Amino acid sequence: MKTLKPSIIEFTDNFLIESNSKNLSISHEIINDELKLKITANYSQIPSRIKLVSSNRSKLKIIADINLNENATLEIIDENDYTVDTSFILKSFLGSHSILELYRFNKFQSDTNNSFIHTCNLSNRSTFKDFNFTNGSDFTKNETKINLNEKNAKYVGSGVVMSNSSKCENNLDVRHLSQSAVSDCSFKAVTRGSSNVSFKGKVFVDENCSDTQSNQISKGLLIDEESKINLTPILEINNDDVVCSHGAASGKADEEVLFYLASRGISKSEAERIYIEGFLSEFIEKIEDAEMQDKGRNFVKENC
C-alpha cells in the first residue's frame, strides 16, 4: 500500500490550495465564483497525489487543466459527500510513459444536480485509470472522452452507479487514433425506486489503427419494478486488424439465489445486499491499487 502525503485542494469559500510535492505544480484563479486550476506533474520516484476536500458552499464549479510530463504519475482522489450542486470540467494531457489515476467515491444529496465532464488525451505508452463510484442525485451526468492519440496508449475505466429515485446519465467516447492502443471499459448500475440510469459507450477505431484491443461491458441490476436501466454500446470499427468485444445486459436479481439465501435464515434486505455486493465485485477487483480497491468495496457496502 502506498503511503503518500497528498496535496490538498479544499473547496472552502476562498478555495484552499496546499501542495506538498516538489514535483507537482498547482496554480489557480477564481473568476465569477469558479475555481480554475492548472496542474502539472513531473517525474518522481514517488507518485504525486491530490486529494479533494469539500466544505459547505452554495454551489461548486471547478475547471481544471491537468498536464502530466514524461514518466510522471499522478493520483487524484475525490471521496466527498457533496451537499450542493457541482460541476467539474477537466481537460488532461498525458505525456509519454505517464500514468493518471482518477478515483471518485461520491455521495450526492437527492435534490442536487451534478455533472462531471472530462476529456483526456493520451500519448505514447501513457495510461489513464478511471474509477467512479456514485449513488446518483436528482440529476447526475458523467461524460468522458478518451483520445488514444499515440501507440500503446491505454485506458482502463470502471463505473459503478447505485441509484435511488434519481436520473443518472453516463456517456463514454473512446477513440482509437493510433496503432496498438488498448481500452478496457466496464460499467455496472444498481437501481431502486424510480431511478433511471443510462449508459452510452462508444468505441471508435480509425482506419490506420491496426493491432487495436478494445473491450466494453455494461450490466444493470433492477431491484424495484419502477426502476429503469438503458445500456447502449456503439462500435465504429474501420480496421480489420483489431480485437474488439462488447456486451450489455440488464435484469432483475435471480429469485432462486434470493430464495436460497432466505432459506438459510437471511432477511430479504440482507439477501439483496449480499447479491448486490457479488454483482459489483468483479469490477472492484479491476482496481489494482489495494487501498483504492478497499475504498470501492467499502463504498458498495455503505450504499447497498
pLDDT grade, residue 1 (50/70/90)? very low
pLDDT grade, residue 3 (50/70/90)? low
pTM of the model: 0.94
Q: For residue 132, what is the enclosing H or E element?
A: strand 127-134
For the CA atoms of 287, 289, 292, 293, what is the dihedral angle to 10 degrees?
Answer: 50
Distance set, CA 49 to CA 101, 161, 193, 272, 279 (Å)? 9, 25, 37, 36, 30
* Residues linked to residue 30 through DSSP beta bridges, in sequence order: 35
pLDDT by residue (tens digit) across 10-37?
A: 888 778 888 888 899 999 998 888 899 9
